[in-house]
Structure 1
């Protein structure tokens, strides 16, 4: 790697890290100012608050790293242009594509780190972040509402379906439980109970007012008991996962979780798929935004760095707008999650090609 590559690469990485170190404390300060009243009112231990903001740092950096990267590239490339360094590079016989190479090397390093962060480290941080909010910052009324789930109907195996009219994640009990088993699309038996309770110590279930109807050729067989302790091949927590669970799973675990939830007919399946696709799309977005940032700021123009930053911030917010709109559309409708997540990248890739062609001229 030559002097030019090292010079730009050090600026690329150094400015990006500086941008993170500048904005993360600001994010922590704003978040703390918003939540300090509830933290003090609930007498949250200091160590819990410290761990929460450690998790918040990872969460915040992972969420906004494409924006920070974009602004940092515009910042230091505009300085190069204003100091006529870019003109000196190109006048020495270096092609624009050759000038762009260290930017792509830097984007590769940052994107690899971002992919590892999003796939393995951020999920652990998200789990602690969301659990802290749920435990200390939510009102009791919202907790009770979140802990109660109505009309849970799931396919737990190829031929088995269960239903509960209501379920409490706090007490791990459900009302009006039924289990239906089918063979060749014909029901062979049905288990019902007025209440089902999960026992975490021995992973068993207690059924109250138990009834089992076995469908026969000539007549059905009915078995009734007041109370039955039994085991089932499912975990109560798997049947009613919290909405943010996809954010807390590493990528391999998330893939397996999505497969199970598709079989069970989860109503949150689109949300889970959006989360998975974003872990791949955000690193790619960093490449696209790097090219746009270089194309916008590599040439010296009237207005200097301020004009470049203003234009860059406008593009960044447009990108975030499209990302949020299409992500929400996929979560709330039948719109394909893959198209929703990757469409902003596709749109801005076209913009990147257009701006790059103009910059080369």
Structure 2
């Protein structure tokens, strides 16, 4: 068990070192252009970079570690000797399952609590020194901000926090209750209010229309400019409790990005669980001594790794573009590879 875990951390360190080298070569111009501090690069960015991506790919790295470690044992005929001494294959699997449980449990905690905290620092650094470009002008903004309340901007300037041709509609039981229109609205970051210029309000009561208009109005509205800025990746900042609250809030607002949020939520549980499935596959396929030795097992492991990643990509695309339930999309690769694991386990040398 100790050697297996050490092998995992060795491969993790190797892969993360290579990933950092490629990332530095890609980001170095941004670091120089925006005068990013060395301490921020090393601590705020790359330390959290390793934590995020290392944990994200940990099930696949565990899989490769299992294959590498078990292939060494099989190549030295140690697996044959262990099974010949009367130890069952199930008993042989026990240390692997203990190790997988420790690593999967750690990954689950990291996914739901620690990594989101680290991501806040990493994403803040990216927004400051790497992803400094933001689309300044949003056109045709249309969204639900609460049940029955719809807003529309012809244009919204993210830089100045100013909107043009603004409309707010209140609906109840399918009937329009009121409609507010303003030529120009501006966000006051101090008070948290909006200033409406050249506005009018139409209110409908018992079939009667009442109109109110004016030059300027300061009022509180149930949304802020931050809802029009940012990236989908910003949900990586949220721990599991914050993510659940955010999803509930976005459902009320009628967000079209709900599938992306649910994929993020379910992936945090599905990926750690895949550690068990990939461990069984890794042990079962590499416990036989084959011509070509470790290289054959590693090649087969890399092929399965690519297949697993491809399956994840395909199912998540179906969830975001074809209406597939995100829960089914995220767990389908585990189900497919779970069947493969059961088959290989049944065919493993006993």
Q: TM-score, normalised by structure 2?
A: 0.94
Change (3 A) 1:81 1:177: same
Aligned 8 A contact 2:170 2:179 in 1: yes
Secondary structure of 2:156's partner?
strand
Aligned 8 A contact 1:149 1:240 in 2: no
Return the match for 2:269 from 267, 277, 280: 280
Residue by residue over 1:224-283, the C-alpha shift from the partner in whole angstroms, topping out at 9 and shown as x without a partner, is: 111111112333324655322222211111111111112212121111111111111101
State the partner residue of 2:242: 253
Secondary structure of 1:246's partner?
helix
State the partner residue of 2:115: 122
State the partner residue of 1:44: 36
Aligned 8 A contact 1:254 1:276 in 2: yes
Query: Do structure 1's residue 357 and structure 2's residue 346 form an aligned pair?
Result: yes
Aligned 8 A contact 2:262 2:326 in 1: yes
Change (3 A) 1:212 1:48: same
Pairing 1:12-91 to 2, within 5 Å after superposition = 12-50=4-42, 51-91=44-84
State the partner residue of 2:299: 310
State the partner residue of 1:268: 257
Aligned 8 A contact 1:154 1:239 in 2: no
Residue by residue over 1:92-140, the C-alpha shift from the partner in whole angstroms, topping out at 9 and shown as x without a partner, is: 221111111111111111011111111122223333333433332347x
Give me the whole-angstrom Cα distance separating, in 1, the residues matched to 2:160 and 2:335.
47
State the partner residue of 1:175: 164
Change (3 A) 1:218 1:258: closer
Residue by residue over 1:131-159, the C-alpha shift from the partner in whole angstroms, topping out at 9 and shown as x without a partner, is: 433332347xxx242x4333222222222
Aligned 8 A contact 2:147 2:253 in 1: no
Give me the whole-angstrom Cα distance separating, in 2, the residues matched to 1:316 and 1:174.
47
Aligned 8 A contact 1:69 1:286 in 2: yes
Give me the whole-angstrom Cα distance separating, in 2, the residues matched to 1:293 and 1:231.
58
Residue by residue over 1:295-331, the C-alpha shift from the partner in whole angstroms, topping out at 9 and shown as x without a partner, is: 0111222111111111111111111111122223322
Return the match for 1:336 from 305, 325, 347: 325
Pairing 1:141-220 to 2, within 5 Å after superposition = 143-145=133-135, 147-217=136-206, 219-220=208-209
Give me the whole-angstrom Cα distance separating, in 2, the residues matched to 1:129 and 1:100.
38
Aligned 8 A contact 2:162 2:184 in 1: yes
Q: TM-score, normalised by structure 1?
A: 0.91
Task: After superposing the two structures, state which structure 1 stretch, 90-99 or 108-117, moved more.
Answer: 90-99
Residue by residue over 1:140-192, the C-alpha shift from the partner in whole angstroms, topping out at 9 and shown as x without a partner, is: xxx242x4333222222222222222223332222222111123322221111
What RMSD in Å do the two structures reach over aligned CA positions?
Answer: 1.8
Number of paired residues? 349
